[in-house]
Amino acid sequence: MAVFLTGATGYIGSYLLAGLFDRGIERVIVLARDPSPERLWRAMQLHWDEATFRERLARIELVGGDLTRSRFGLSAIELEAIARRTTSVLHCAASLNRKSERQCLAVNLKGTLEVVRFARTVPELSRFSFVSTSAVAGERQDETVAEDRAIDWERRDYDPYARTKKFCEHLIATELPDVSRLVFRPSVVLGDSTRPETTQFDMVQAFAYFAQRWTLPLRRHHRLDIVPVDYVRDAIVALHLKDDPAHGIYHLSAGEGSATFLEIVSNLSEAQGTARPWFWPWLKAPFTWYIRQLARAHGTKIARSAARLEVFMPYLTNNTVFDNTRVAAELGRRPAAFSDYSHSLLAWSLEHGFRHPHRELGGSPSQTTATTHAEKAGPPAAPDTESDAPSGPNTATDPDEKASPSVPPDAETSP
Ligand SMILES: NC(=O)c1ccc[n+]([C@@H]2O[C@H](COP(=O)([O-])OP(=O)(O)OC[C@H]3O[C@@H](n4cnc5c(N)ncnc54)[C@H](OP(=O)(O)O)[C@@H]3O)[C@@H](O)[C@H]2O)c1
């Protein structure tokens, strides 16, 4: 049995790859733009020591491919051979760049179409799972959204990311009607409830920044739906491998257990040894105006950060959470509360300057045993100059910006 997995070099995808092996999966076919063992090691060292990584590499087929290219840039013969070895598809890769419609269309929409086309050629496809987002619910205010009431084509979407993910869900349902399908919609995925280490810092920096302000333009009793990544992993892996899940769509979220801003910020202020900010929601309009002006100062670091915060603000102020009754019933438990582990997450992130201490893969790449298709698919795609750097593990392009919570952080990462 081989799972075809996209996005394994990213934050959530790395958890899924580790989780699949933990559940006894024999073989995983990993599609990655950079299919080198060194690139995968950057993501997987959060989960495995080097010996385990090398042992698992023998069971990973690394395929060099770009979602934005037809057949991922592979030849028809190569892809056909991969299809014959595949028994299920777990599509996690995406662009989370809310500022670039072009990138969201190319990676999310065209990329998902390519994955769907590939899935159609898999002779023995037992399951197609798609990692979507709770953001497909569009603009909401003061709601608890249930899975079947989330998609509303009349409703405005927050950004191109949410819009393209919504259309991906539609595409999969339309093009794979006869396939056993699962759609997972995580809310804000932030931290691991079982340990403080992380490779994704955008949101941790955001909260560190918020907790250091004198005032916040937020309502203290508004809730923010945050779910730990270990719960997301457990749910996706268990349900992807389950013969008969009760539903086709699952929110992976804190739901009614979501913390309020007062709880979140109090906890984080305490972790930083700072006074808790005042909540002045009437500052929302001037604050929004201010970050919009800052965002117009093109090219500067603060402008880039402000532009991202501008996009992210609606997600913070909508007081909307996502019902998690379905997944809680499947797993027999709800996710850990953010306040249970946020303190240690922030303390660890501060201690490490908002960077994961990276270890190089020892020994030469030729000693590894993974099957790679790097040459066949050509070099990784050139960086998108219009857009921001990818938000995968350790992809910080500006160490100063990543290392300090003193400016509004990059808010690419969210539902
Ligand atoms: N993080 C959250 O809070 C959150 C919340 C809700 C839903 N989600 C969903 O969870 C999934 C994973 O998110 P994440 O936070 O783990 O993101 P991430 O760390 O940015 O990882 C994105 C992954 O997609 C891959 N990718 C991007 N463009 C690609 C392309 N053209 N071809 C092939 N692969 C490509 C990246 O590969 P490279 O290493 O080559 O860049 C990386 O492996 C996404 O579908 C996202 O919508 C995330």
Q: Is the CB of 204 under 6 A from ligand 1?
A: no
Q: Residue range 258-272: average pLDDT?
A: 89
Q: Is residue 379's pLDDT more than 90?
A: no
Mean pLDDT, residues 168-186: 98
Can you give the residue range of the structural domain that contains 346?
Answer: 2-403
| Mean pLDDT to the nearest integer, 76-103 | 95
Residue 414 lies in a domain: no
Task: Specify the pLDDT at position 409.
Answer: 38
SS3 letters for 91-121? ECCCCCCCCCHHHHHHHHHHHHHHHHHHHHC
Q: Is the pLDDT of residue 134 over 90?
A: yes
Q: Which atom of ligand 1 is nearest to the CA of 9?
A: 43
Rounded to the nearest angstrom, the distance between the alpha carbon of 262 and the centre of ligand 1 is 30
Asked if residue 368 belongs to a domain, the reply is yes
CA distance 221 to 66: 43
On whether residue 398 sits in a domain, the answer given is: yes
Residue 40 in domain: yes
Distance CA 157, CA 166 (A): 9
CATH classification of the domain holding 44: 3.40.50.720
**Pocket perturbation via mutation, ligand 1, pick of 4, 6, 12 by most ligand atoms within 8 A of CB:** 12
Give the pairing type, strands 127-131 and 88-91: parallel
Kindly give the distance from the C-alpha atom of residue 270 to the centroid of ligand 1, in angstroms, as a whole number.
32
- Given a contact cutoff of 8 angstroms between Cβ atoms, the answer to whether 85 and 29 are in contact is yes
Range from 6-15, 48-57, 201-210, 343-352 carrying the lowest mean pLDDT:
201-210
Q: Does 226 have pLDDT greater than 60?
A: yes
86: Cβ below 6 Å to ligand 1?
no
Whole-angstrom distance, CA of residue 338 vs CA of residue 261: 11
Residue nearest to atom 24 of ligand 1 (CA): 93
Ligand 1 close to Cβ of residue 9 (< 6 A): yes
Residue 412 within any structural domain of the chain: no
Measured distance CA(167)–CA(161) in Å, rounded: 10
Least confident of 111-120, 126-135, 308-317, 370-379: 370-379
Please report the atom of ligand 1 found closest to the CA of residue 13.
Answer: 16
413 within a domain of the structure (yes/no): no
Pick the most confident of 79-83, 206-210, 268-272, 307-311: 79-83
Instruction: Kindly state whether residue 410 falls inside one of the protein's structural domains.
Output: no
Cα gap 405→403, rounded to integer Å: 7
In the chain, the number of structural domains is 1
Location of structure tokens 């080198």: 36
- Any idea which residue has 């790395």 for tokens? 14
Answer whether residue 408 is part of any domain.
Answer: no
Which residue's CA is minimally distant from atom 17 of ligand 1? 10
Average pLDDT rounded to a whole number, residues 113-137: 98
Return d(Cα 183, Cα 240) in angstroms, integer: 10
pTM for this entry: 0.88
Residue with CA nearest ligand 1 atom 41: 390
pLDDT value, residue 195: 97
Is 407's pLDDT higher than 90? no
Q: Please check whether residue 157 is in contact with residue 166, taking contact to mean a CB–CB distance below 8 angstroms.
A: yes
Test site for ligand 1: of 5, 15, 96, most ligand atoms within 8 A of the Cβ: 96
Cβ–ligand 1 distance for 136 under 6 Å, the answer no
CA of 33 to the centre of ligand 1 (A): 12
Question: What is the model's pLDDT at position 415?
Answer: 66
Closest ligand 1 atom number to CA of residue 189: 3
